[in-house]
Amino acid sequence: MEDLIKKADILVEALPYMRKFHDKTVVIKYGGSAMVNDEIKKSVLEDITLLKYVGVNPVIVHGGGPVINETLDRFGIESQFHQGLRITTKEIMEVVEMVLVGQVNKEIVSLANQFGSKSIGISGKDGNLIEAEDYELEDDVDLGYVGQVTEINPEVLDNLINSGFLPVVSPIGVGSEGESYNINADLVAGQLAAALDADKLILLTNVEGILEEESDKDSLISSLTIEEAEDMIETGQIAGGMIPKVNSCIDALDGGVRRTHILDGRISHSLLLEIFTDRGIGTMITK
C-alpha cells in the first residue's frame, strides 16, 4: 500500500505541471547517448509519448553523428574536421542525408509509434521548413555543404501539431537552388523552438549539464542567465561541443522561448523529472 501511495503522490505532484504545460509546445533535441543506448532510447521515447498523451505538444529534432561516422567508415569515405565541424563534400552530404533522413529519422518514428505516438518524420527540406546557406568562418575555410539557418517556415509543423502528430525533424536544410545542407542539430532546435513560440527547449546531452569546473562532476550549475552563459564562453569555462548547445539556448530565448534546459540524456526519464517534478535536473538557461 505504501508503494501505491507514493505513486499517487507523484501523480499529485505532477498535476500542476500538467496543467501548466497543457497544449504548450516543447522542442526536444534528441542525440548523444540517448540515441545510442537502446534502453535510454526506449526511455526517452516513452517519456515523449507520455508528454503527448497528457496534452503537451512535443517536437523532436534529432542528430546522428555516430551513425554518420559508422556509415562513412563502411563506405571508406574519410572525413576531415575544422573547428569541430565536419567538412562536408557533395559525396559526404549524400551520405549524411541518407543516414539522417532515411535511417535515423525513420528508426525514431517507428519506435515512437510502437509506444503509441502518432509520429511522422520530415526533413528541413519538406515544405522549405529550414532554409539555409553556407556556414562561413572567419578564417575563410570552405566547409562545403555545412549550413546555417536563414529562415524557419514552421507552417508544416504547425499543421502536424494541430492534427495531433508528433513531428520528428532531421536537421537538413535547403538552399536557394534546392541543394541540401548539413546543419548542427542543436542550432536547428533553438531556432525551431523560437519559430514555433515553444514554451521550452530541452537539449539532451552526454553530460550532467554545465559545470563550474569541467573536471568536477559535482560542480553542476543549476541555473544561468544569458549574460552569465556568454561570460563563461568568453572565459573558456564553456567550450567545445557545449558552445553550440548554449548558443542554441540563447537563440531560443532571444526568439521568445520561456525556458531552455541542458539535460543529461543518460538519466532514465530525465524529461519527466525536469518537466513534471519540483526538483528538476541539469542546467536551465533563462533571460
Query: Distance between CA 58 and CA 24 in Å, rounded?
Result: 8
Distance of CA 177 to the CA centre of its chain: 27
| Domains, the chain, with CATH or none | 2-286 (3.40.1160.10)
Query: Distance between CA 211 and CA 200 in Å, rounded?
Result: 21
The three three-digit cell numbers of residue 76, written as one number: 571508406
pLDDT digits (tens, 9 = 90+) for 87-131: 899 999 999 999 999 999 999 999 999 998 899 999 999 999 999
Cell 573536471 locates to: 215
- 75 phi and psi, to 5 degrees? -85, -5
pLDDT digits (tens, 9 = 90+) for 249-272: 999 999 999 999 998 888 888 888
Region 202-225: mean pLDDT is: 83
The three three-digit cell numbers of residue 103, written as one number: 535511417
Binding residue per annotation — 206? no
What's the confidence (pLDDT) of residue 255?
93
- 165 phi and psi, to 5 degrees? -85, 155
Alpha helix (H) residue ranges in 174-283: 185-195, 226-235, 242-254, 270-276
More confident residue, 40 or 73: 73
pLDDT band at 176 (very low <50, low <70, confident <90, very high): very high
- Cβ count near 191 (within 10 Å): 24
Residue 253 and residue 286 in contact, taking contact as beta carbons nearer than 8 Å: yes
More confident residue, 161 or 136: 161
Query: Distance between CA 266 and CA 33 in Å, rounded?
Result: 6
Does the pLDDT at position 174 exceed 80?
Answer: yes
Alpha helix (H) residue ranges in 149-206: 155-162, 185-195
Binding residue per annotation — 64? yes
What's the confidence (pLDDT) of residue 191?
95
Residue 191 and residue 153 in contact, taking contact as beta carbons nearer than 8 Å: no
Binding residue per annotation — 65? yes
Mean pLDDT of the chain: 87
pLDDT > 70: what percent of the chain? 92
pLDDT digits (tens, 9 = 90+) for 59-84: 999 988 888 989 999 999 988 887 77
What's the confidence (pLDDT) of residue 278?
66
Residue 132 and residue 180 in contact, taking contact as beta carbons nearer than 8 Å: no
- Can you name the residues that pair with 270 across neighbouring β-strands? none
pLDDT band at 137 (very low <50, low <70, confident <90, very high): confident
Binding residue per annotation — 280? no
Three-class SS string for 72-117?
A: HHHHCCCCCEECCEECECHHHHHHHHHHHHHHHHHHHHHHHHHCCC
